[in-house]
């Protein structure tokens, strides 16, 4: 039976009851839910569909053929996890979720996919005729990937983690570009199958990109620093006649903050390399 499970095959209708037809394939009988059909089938007719074992452990055939099959890869959505077994994913069958084995998941459980995450898988069948989801390997991702466009530098994008390594995370962007996230460029390691928002920080010759999930420097700075930065940006020459030597009254009159708050904000902007200070002026860093 192994060769006809999780496959699109053709069988013969041999019987029926009020709820199901019985379809025979190579001596094995599969249930076919009558509600799937608009027109009745006659005994002896041929029927082509996808075969699987349903949640009641009965062999079933359906005309609703999933995109994910043996050697047919697609993204499956995680619906639940079971400790000691793995995670269950939805591949589009009405009464069957498929398990991705714990053997294919990260050893750290916090990095397991959670509900709503997506995994690129195909299907395999073991010697007990059980269907499993099998994660796509690097070759599959390389085969479906597209070269990144030249204008992606510093752009925001979304990417989904598909391989977790000590050296960093490998991801596939929403435009099917390969991406790499170094540990130094993340606040937290993404889960397998998790979609993250990131920005492109490097373009590689092979068409892939390096990304970062850390906020830009201006997003990390406080409100006072953001105000000072905005004030500089709105000048014609991108500079202001202020420095850490400016008087408290002039700072209070212009920015509405104390000199202590001004100096702290200025120090942060200088540390983040967003501005420079010289000759009694602060200006945007070129």
* pLDDT tens digits along 266-277: 988 888 888 999
Q: For residues 171 and 150, is the Cβ–Cβ distance under 8 A?
A: no
- pLDDT on residue 286: 67
User: One fold for both 2-62 and 74-136?
Assistant: yes
What is the structure's pLDDT at 217? 59
Confidence of residue 218 (pLDDT cuts 50, 70, 90): low
pLDDT value of residue 271: 84
Check residue 219 and give its pLDDT: 58
pLDDT of residue 221: 65
Q: Does domain 2-62 have CATH number 1.10.760.10?
A: no
Asked whether the predicted pLDDT for residue 145 surpasses 60, the reply is: yes
State mean pLDDT over 195-200.
95
Q: Considering the domain 74-136 in this protein, what is its CATH number?
A: 2.40.50.140
DSSP assignment, residue 184?
A: G
C-alpha 256/C-alpha 129 separation (Å) is: 73
pLDDT in tens, 74-110: 999 999 999 899 999 999 998 999 999 999 999 999 9
Predicted pLDDT of residue 222: 79
**Residue 208 — very low, low, confident or very high, per pLDDT cuts 50/70/90?**
very high
pLDDT over 90 for what percent of the chain?
81
Q: Which long-range contacts (CB under 8 A, 24 or more apart) does 244-251 make?
A: 244/277, 245/280, 246/280
Per CATH, the number for 145-212 is 2.40.50.140
Q: Is 205 exposed, middle or buried (CB count within 10 Å of its CB: 0-12, 13-18, 19+)?
A: exposed
Phi-psi region of 104 (alpha: psi -120 to 50; beta: other; left: phi over 0): alpha
Average pLDDT over all residues of the chain: 93
pLDDT at site 272 = 80
| Tens digits of residue pLDDT in 227-255 | 898 889 888 899 999 999 999 999 999 98
Element (H, E) at 223: helix 223-233
pLDDT at 142 over 60: yes
Q: Spell out the CATH class of 218-284.
A: mainly alpha
Q: How far apart are CA 192 and CA 162, in angstroms?
A: 6
**3-class secondary structure, 275:** strand
Q: How confident is the model at residue 187 (pLDDT cuts 50, 70, 90)?
A: confident
In this predicted structure, the answer to whether residue 118 has a pLDDT above a threshold of 90 is: yes
pLDDT average, residue stretch 257-283 = 90
Please tell me the predicted confidence (pLDDT) of residue 71. 92
Tokens linked to 221: 């700075």
pLDDT at 283: 93
Domain segments of the chain: what residues?
2-62, 74-136, 145-212, 218-284
Average pLDDT over residues 127-148: 96
């Amino acid at each position: 039976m192994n060769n006809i499970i999780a496959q699109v095959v053709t069988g013969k209708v041999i019987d029926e009851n009020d709820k199901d037809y019985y379809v025979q394939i190579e001596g094995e009988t599969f249930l076919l839910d009558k509600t799937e059909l608009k027109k009745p089938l006659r005994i002896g007719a041929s029927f082509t569909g996808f075969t699987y074992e349903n949640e009641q452990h009965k062999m079933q055939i359906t005309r609703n053929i999933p995109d994910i099959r043996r050697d047919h890869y697609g993204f499956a959505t995680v619906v639940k996890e079971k400790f000691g077994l793995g995670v269950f994913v939805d591949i589009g069958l009405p009464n069957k979720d498929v398990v991705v084995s714990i053997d294919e998941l990260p050893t750290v459980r916090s990095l397991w996919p959670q509900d709503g995450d997506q995994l690129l898988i195909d299907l395999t069948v073991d010697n007990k005729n059980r269907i499993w989801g099998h994660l796509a390997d690097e070759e599959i991702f390389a085969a479906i990937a597209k070269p990144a466009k030249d204008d992606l530098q510093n752009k925001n994008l979304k990417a989904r983690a598909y391989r977790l390594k000590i050296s960093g995370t490998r991801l596939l962007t929403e435009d099917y570009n390969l991406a790499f996230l170094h540990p130094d460029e993340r606040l937290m390691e993404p889960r397998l199958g998790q979609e993250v928002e990131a920005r492109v920080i490097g373009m590689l010759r092979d068409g892939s990109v390096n990304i970062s999930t850390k906020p830009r420097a201006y997003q990390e700075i406080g409100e006072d620093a953001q105000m000072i930065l905005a004030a500089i940006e709105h000048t014609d020459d991108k500079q202001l006649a202020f420095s850490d030597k400016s008087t408290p009254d002039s700072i209070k009159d212009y920015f509405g903050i104390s000199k202590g708050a001004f100096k702290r904000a200025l120090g942060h902007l200088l540390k983040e390399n967003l501005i420079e200070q010289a000759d009694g002026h602060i200006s945007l860093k070129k």
